[in-house]
Structure 1
Amino acid sequence: MGAVKKKNRLGHRDRSWKIFLAVMAVIALIPLVYALSLSVRTQNSIYDPRLFVTDLTIGNYIKAISDNPTILNNFISSLVISVISTAATVLCASMAVYGFSRKNVYGKVIMYNLILCTLMVPISALVIPITQLNSRMGLLDNYFGLIFPYIALNIPYAVTILQGFMKGVPKELEEAAGLDGCNIVQLYTRIVMPMLKPGIVVVAIWTFLTCWNEFFLALCTMTKATTKTLPLIAQQYKGVYNSQPGILFAILIIITIPMVIFYCVVQKQFVKGMTAGAVKG
Structure 2
Amino acid sequence: MSKKITGFLLLLLGMAVCYPIFFLFTGSLMGSGELKSHLGAALGLGTKPMTWSFLPLMPTLRHYVQLLLDSPEYFHMFWNSVLLSGGILAGQLLCGIPAAWGFAKYDFPLKKLLFSLYILLMMMPFQVTMLSGYLVLSKIKLTDTLWAVILPGAFSTFPVFIMYRFFCGVPQALMDAARIDGAGERAIFFHIGLPLGSSGIVSAVVLSFLESWNLIEQPMTFLKSKKLWPLSLYLPMITPEKAGISFAASVVTLLPALLVFLCGQDYLEQGIVAAAVKE
- What TM-score results when the alignment is normalised by the length of structure 1? 0.81
> Match of 2:251?
253
Aligned to 2:130: 127
Kindly indicate whether residue 62 of structure 2 is the aligned counterpart of residue 75 of structure 1: no
Query: Which residue in 2 is equivalent to 1:103?
Result: 106
- 1:10-21 matches, within 5 Å, as 13=3, 18-21=7-10
- Structure 1 segments of 4 or more deviating over 6 A? 275-279
Q: Kindly, what percent of the aligned residue pairs are identical? A: 22
Question: Aligned Cα RMSD in Å?
Answer: 2.8
Matches of 2:149 and 2:275 in 1, distance apart?
30
Residue aligning to 1:4: none
Matches within 5 A, 1:55-66: 55-65=58-68
Match of 1:24 in 2: 13
Match of 1:196 in 2: 197
Counterpart residue identity of residue 232, structure 1: L
Deviates more, 1:74-83 or 1:170-179: 74-83
TM alignment of 1:231-250, pairs within 5 A = 231-238=232-239, 244-250=242-248
The one of 41, 46, 52 equivalent to 2:30 is 41
- Tell me if the contact between 1:199 and 1:277 (Cα under 8 Å) persists in the aligned partners: no
Deviations 1:31-85 (A, max 9, x none): 1111122223233332152242314433333333455313223222211221231
Unaligned runs of 5+ in 2: 40-49
Partner of residue 261 from structure 2, selected from 242, 260, 263: 263
Superposition deviation, residue 230 in structure 1: 0.7
How many residues of Structure 1 are paired with residues of Structure 2 in the alignment? 264
Deviations 1:95-123 (A, max 9, x none): 22222232221111111101111123211
Separation in 2 of the partners of 1:220 and 1:189? 38
* CA distance in 1 between partners of 2:68 and 2:133 (Å): 32
Q: Which runs of 5+ in 1 are unaligned?
A: 1-8
Task: For 1:200 and 1:158, locate their aligned partners in 2 and report how far apart those are by CA, in whole Å.
Answer: 8
- Conservation of the 8 A alpha-carbon contact between 1:34 and 1:51: no
Q: Name the CA shift for 1:260/1:164 in 2 (closer, same or farther; >3 Å).
A: same
Contact 2:28 2:63 in 1 (8 A): yes
The 2-side partners of 1:270 and 1:120 are apart by 19
Q: 1:45 aligns to what SS in structure 2?
A: helix
